[in-house]
């Protein structure tokens, strides 16, 4: 594993890296004589904002961009105000517009950096999992899943997995395509874990039954039914490796 891959796989290293960069920025910006102490104190105030952003607000980025932008800015403003008030109370420094803007700039920098690293880490994790899942060959076919039950519109439906052509992510739901479309409330990642290794993720929003694959045309997969689906860049190598190992 390369150094960059080890970095992407280690959450602790990433978090330390983020806060080290913020610490250096604060050392340059803050005015008091005790710069190190002030920088550490400010980081303790920034940390909750970053984790709230990554855990609560960031998921809105894919589905509801306007809501994400509003929540992202609101999170920054609220914690900037808290940071400015606490810092003012500790140092007896009067809050003015310049102080607030400086804190807001640092807050936005920390939020963007933390979010960017989380997105990169999640992307790396999905790519690694997709490659591992694509190249794995079942060792005991007797244990292979042949059917699965899903909830749909207050019903519990039994689906034979060999009838599934592909699955599409749809917010907090997935669409399962057999001869009909079944909508069920669960994530694509969770559902994929229940399926046998015949299923492979080809895009952040699509999983296909590898046995239903007809051909690959550039950046598209064509199924035996004639359905055309996009291949994500991070998944294409795993798909090609799976074909070679088939």
Q: What are phi and psi of 209, to 5 degrees?
A: -80, 115
pLDDT by residue for the chain (246 residues), tens only, comes to 455 555 444 555 656 666 566 656 655 555 555 555 555 556 666 777 777 887 788 888 877 888 888 888 888 888 878 777 776 666 666 667 776 787 788 788 778 877 887 777 777 776 666 666 555 544 444 456 788 999 988 889 999 999 999 999 998 899 999 999 999 999 998 899 889 888 999 999 999 999 999 999 988 999 999 999 999 888 888 888 888 876
Asked if residues 7 and 125 have their Cβ atoms less than 8 Å apart, the reply is no
What are the φ/ψ torsions at residue 223 (nearest 5 degrees)?
Answer: -85, 170
The greatest distance separating any two alpha carbons of the chain, rounded to the nearest whole angstrom, comes to 72
Q: For residues 65 and 67, what is the distance between their CA atoms, to the nearest angstrom? A: 5
Cα distances from 53 to residues 4, 21, 84, 100, 110, in angstroms, run 24, 18, 19, 20, 10
100-123 b/e (C-beta count within 10 Å ≥ 16 → b)? eebbbebbbebbebbbebbeebee
Please say whether the structural domain 141-245 has been given the CATH code 1.10.1060.10: no
211 neighbors 219 (Cβ within 8 angstroms): no
Backbone angles phi, psi at 94, to 5 degrees: -70, 135
Residues 240 and 244: their CA atoms lie apart, in Å, by 6
pTM over 0.75: no
Where would I find the beta strands (DSSP E) of the chain?
A: 147-152, 155-160, 166-170, 173-177, 181-184, 199-203, 206-209, 213-217, 220-223, 228-230
Contact 226, 177 (CB under 8 A): no
- Phi-psi label, residue 189: left if phi above 0, alpha if psi -120 to 50, beta otherwise: alpha
Element (H, E) at 217: strand 213-217
246 and 213 in contact (C-beta within 8 Å)?
Answer: no
Count of CB atoms situated within 10 Å of the CB of 57 = 20
């Amino acid at each position: 594993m390369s150094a960059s891959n080890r970095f992407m796989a280690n959450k602790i290293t990433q978090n330390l890296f983020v806060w080290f960069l913020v610490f250096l920025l604060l050392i340059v910006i803050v005015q008091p004589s005790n710069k190190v102490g002030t920088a550490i104190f400010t980081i303790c105030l920034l940390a909750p904002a970053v984790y709230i952003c990554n855990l609560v607000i960031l998921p809105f980025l894919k589905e509801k961009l306007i809501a994400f932008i509003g929540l992202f800015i609101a999170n920054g403003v609220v914690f900037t105000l808290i940071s400015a008030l606490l810092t003012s109370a500790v140092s007896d420094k009067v809050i003015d517009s310049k102080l607030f803007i400086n804190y807001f700039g640092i807050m936005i920098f920390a939020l963007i950096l933390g979010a960017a690293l989380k997105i990169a880490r999640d992307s790396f994790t999905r790519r690694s999992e997709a490659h591992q899942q694509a190249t794995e060959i079942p060792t005991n076919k007797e244990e292979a899943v042949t059917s699965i039950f899903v909830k749909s519109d207050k019903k519990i439906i039994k689906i034979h997995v060999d009838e599934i052509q592909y699955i599409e992510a749809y917010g907090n739901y997935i669409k399962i395509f057999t001869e009909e479309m079944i909508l069920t409330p669960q994530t694509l990642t969770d559902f994929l874990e229940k399926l046998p290794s015949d299923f492979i993720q080809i895009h952040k929003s699509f999983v296909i039954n590898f046995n239903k694959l007809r051909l690959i045309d550039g950046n598209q997969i064509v199924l035996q039914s004639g359905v055309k689906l996009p291949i994500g860049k991070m998944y294409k190598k795993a798909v090609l490796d799976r074909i070679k190992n088939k």
